[in-house]
Structure 1
């Protein structure tokens, strides 16, 4: 474009800008004059409304443009309290071997004073090639089944400054083997001092979720886009910009590399025939080596506190899940025990079907036992109120309970012909099973004795004709009947 023409366009643009500024100033002065001409009360009202709208607009603008804060890692529990919880689980008969092994591995790696780096990412992102590039002596294979890393493998690698690293090759996301292999990968990522998250382009939803999960544990992280030689310069920069935006506040650095690996191409021979040739591409991982050197510059000792917090936070979650499982199993045993006692009490009652006269003490004991299991403090008054409300629920639903019990007994030849006492005994088994399950679920979720919530759950369970549950209760009733009718030794 000629210089004079550029100057002319610049002058026209400046003139248009000045005209817009003068027009805006003139409009603003006119509005100000009209505003000052209004009554004082209306001025205050209109001015306040404009101020509120302006403040709201500025708040929204600040929320959109403000720099994203770095994600704070989840708090880690105190190790002593965690070990006490594990000991309590062990005393209840829970399998805590994996939790104890995790604590032992935490201590072992601390004593080794070596830096562990986990290579994390989906299959087909070039993890095996990167392992070979970082640790040439490593043997990292893959095949058409979608990944063959069935366990965590460790390889020794070295940085340009001579420092050594332990590289952890973990199973890839969406690898053959499913959830078990993904659990292995995540646990190893928490044990590592730092993580290399490898992708081969833009991130999908699952990969973004994995990044946020790692950030929640405060892991020092490098987001690395492999196979960068597949994109031209403009495409590569666009992808990197988007990755930086997605990982803002999460990744310490976002970079592009080419881990090498093999490639196949068709070659035309002199006689016109073609053949498939496979050759190795040279890796280009210098940016990763520099970023990894910066990320691990503090050494194992400097990164150990973050690593320990991540491991303990992960153990806290795993211990909590095991506690829930153990508590659920114990609650099942308690409910089954009181359902059996209710059946025995109903069979021994002089007037079957009486309004929980014999069963009142059992209902009180069931409520107290479940509250103690879930560590929910309850008073005698609360227990009495809940039992009273449960009785009202059973009065209104007694016909439904008996109908469900009668239909269930028809599936057991011989059991339904043993008399009305068996029907009422089975009905009591249904009642106490439903009451126990409803109360246990409510206590676990709400951590308090919420009578309304437990009552609603009880109503739903009383009308639930679940086949396996009814068969278990019918078997329990039949066993009690046989024990009653068995001749004395």
Structure 2
């Protein structure tokens, strides 16, 4: 509930209480007299009920007026467990170089004992101009097109009290080709001891989400309105009030500055002509310098724990994404392996119904292999139940499977004329590919063997006639057919 709405409820509650007080004043003395005439046991009972109502009213008022809690930082993993996970990913062939480099950079900055401050925000909010104002000797490129920062730059700056700090200029969000640049910006923001979030007006939804994302890591954060000299006093006050609402419980301070920078204007000459003139606006950043001095007062050593927690929390997220991607790739290989085995089994089956026995064994192996990959403990009974449910689904949808398989084979010259054996094998390739993909997606999302969820996904995949997946299965089937023919 917003603060304004809580204040409205509070005002209505107080008004109602006052009205009741005045309405009851006339009868207060009479009620008190009658209360004293009651038996002692009844006086105690009514007194207790009255106390309960008073306590409830106080509780409601406290709920309405209580201060908003600060956002809790994301949970931080233990570094040892994180390094162990990275090592396991490396053993499975995943590229963990960036994760290991991040840990190395964490140690390097801790050893340097320097305070790092990152400038974060959308393009064209004046980050480069602010770098010039904070570090006058820095050489920062900028142009009118916006989005000129393509990589992270570090510059030495000095606070008003003479202490030095390292300013990190990161790429602006919403930049062209911005996903890579945004990743660079976010990673650098996590490495910094403190963050300046720069804006040039009220925050849109994407900016508000960025601000909350930064706040989730629990480090000092300043929300700064730049180009304040472009607004009137009333407009600036209105903007600052809106920004304070965005920053409540999120930012350490909300303030307005003017980072200066260049501007162009038309100047009238004596002969009546005009010329375009570029001039530098004088920066006005005193409030920011004071706020920076305040939040960096503990120094690098005092801020290091929060910085390390932010880096480790970010690494935890990146490691989890790499784990999910690595498992997905491994699951793809498992599914493809069992689909090929199903094709070979279907081509080799000679006795009526013998292929069902073969495919049942393969389905059990596929289920067990995927459950082991995703770390889900399943019993033999659970596996058997899932396989039986899958068989029921396949019996009821056999006509759909054969129709999809037949239409797919017709799209590949030569495959559609190879007879029912190929159609049969391709159908089993489709079945096992669908079963494996459905089960892998369910295990990844539910972290358990949810038969209903996996079954629903299986039905969708069996009816999916997507060209790319079917082409891959057709190629897999054709390879198995060629191998059989060559062997014979």
Q: Counterpart in 1 of 2:240?
A: 240
Instruction: Tell me, yes or no, if the aligned pair for 2:215 and 2:250 is still in contact at 8 Å.
Output: yes
Matching of residues 96-175 of structure 1 within 5 Å: 96-175=96-175
Deviation at 1:325, TM superposition (A): 0.3
Give the Cα separation in 2 of the matches to 1:398 and 1:451: 19
How big is each residue's C-alpha offset from its partner over 1:168-221, in whole Å with a ceiling of 9 and x where there is no partner?
000011122211101100000000000011111211111111110001011211
Matching of residue 278 in structure 1 with residue 275 in structure 2 = no
CA contact 2:345–2:355 (8 Å) conserved in 1: no
Q: Distance in 2 between matches of 1:381 and 1:459?
A: 22
1:78 to 2:78 alignment: yes
CA contact (8 A) 2:349 2:355 kept: no
CA distances 1:6-40 after superposition (whole Å, capped 9, x unpaired): xxxxxxxxxxxxxx979962466579999x9xxxx
- Aligned-CA RMSD value: 2.7
* Matching residue of 2:22: 25
Partner of 1:483: 483
Deviation at 1:277, TM superposition (A): 1.9
Q: 1:273 to 1:428 in 2, by over 3 A?
A: same
Whether the 8 Å CA contact 1:346–1:352 is kept in 2: the answer is: no
**In the superposition, relative to structure 1, how do residues 162 and 170 fare at CA in structure 2: closer, same or farther (>3 Å)?**
same
Matched positions, count? 462
Q: What is the TM-score of this pair, normalised by structure 2?
A: 0.89
Q: Could you say which residue in structure 2 is the equivalent of 1:187?
A: 187
Q: 1:299 to 1:348 in 2, by over 3 A?
A: same
Pairing 1:198–2:198 present: yes
In structure 1, what is the equivalent of residue 468 of structure 2? 468
| Distance verdict in 2 for CA 1:274–1:238, change over 3 Å | same
Instruction: Give 1:287 shift.
Output: 1.1
CA distance in 2, matches of 1:303, 1:23: 54
1:432 matched to 2:432? The reply is yes
Identify if the C-alpha distance between structure 1 residues 61 and 183 changes in structure 2 by more than 3 Å, giving closer, same or farther. farther
Post-superposition offset of 1:254 = 1.1
In structure 1, distance between residues paired with 2:77 and 2:169: 28
1:89-488 to structure 2, matched below 5 A, reads 89-351=89-351, 356-487=356-487
Go from structure 1 to structure 2 and tell me whether the alpha carbon gap of 1:419 and 1:31 turns closer, same or farther (over 3 Å shift): farther
Shift of 1:235: 2.3
Question: For 1:299-342, what per-residue CA distance to the aligned partner results, in whole angstroms no more than 9, with x for missing partners?
Answer: 10100000000000000000000000000000000000000000
Give deviations 1:403-426, integer Å, cap 9, x for gaps: 111111111121121111111111
Q: Secondary structure at the match of 2:317?
A: helix
* Cα separation, partners in 2 of 1:115 and 1:352, compared to 1, 3 Å: farther
CA distance in structure 1 between the partners assigned to 2:19 and 2:426 by the alignment:
90
Give the secondary-structure state (helix, strand or coil) at the position aligned to 2:137. Answer: coil
Query: Alpha-carbon deviations, 1:346-384, whole Å to 9, x = none?
Result: 000014666722211111110100000000001111111
Q: Which whole-Å CA distance do the structure 1 matches of 2:471 and 2:54 have between them?
A: 65
Separation in 2, partners of 1:78, 1:22: 58
Name the CA distance, whole Å, in 2 between partners of 1:301 and 1:417: 75
Cα deviation, residue 454, structure 1? 1.1
Q: 1:21 to 1:475 in 2, by over 3 A?
A: closer
Deviation sequence 1:465-489 (CA, Å, 0-9, x none): 111111111110010000000156x
Q: What runs of 5+ residues in structure 2 fail to find an aligned partner?
A: 1-16, 35-44
| Structure 1 counterpart SS, 2:290 | helix
Query: Which residue of structure 1 lines up, in the alignment, with residue 42 of structure 2?
Result: none
- Provide the rounded CA distance (Å) in 2 between the counterparts of 1:22 and 1:178: 59
Q: Which of 408-417 and 475-484 deviates more? A: 408-417
Q: Work out the CA distance in 2 between the residues paired with 1:58 and 1:323.
A: 50
Deviations 1:145-174 (A, max 9, x none): 321111000000011211110000000111
State the Cα distance separating 1:240 from its structure 2 match.
1.6
Whole-Å Cα distance in 2 between the matches of residues 134 and 387 of structure 1? 66
1 CA distance for matches of 2:244 and 2:91? Answer: 48
Give 1:237 shift.
2.1
Q: Distance in 2 between matches of 1:62 and 1:464?
A: 56
CA deviations on 1:71-93 (whole Å, 9 max, x unpaired) are 11101100010011001111111
SS of match in other structure, 1:168: strand
Decide whether aligned partners of structure 1 residues 364 and 22 sit closer, same or farther in structure 2, where only a CA change above 3 A counts.
closer
- Residue ranges of structure 1 left out of the alignment (5+ in a row): 1-19, 37-43
Query: Shift in Å at residue 238 of structure 1?
Result: 2.4
TM-aligned CA distance change 1:231 to 1:358, over 3 Å? same
CA separation of 1:388 and 1:22: change in aligned 2, threshold 3 A: closer
What is the distance in 2 between the residues matched to 1:65 and 1:202?
27
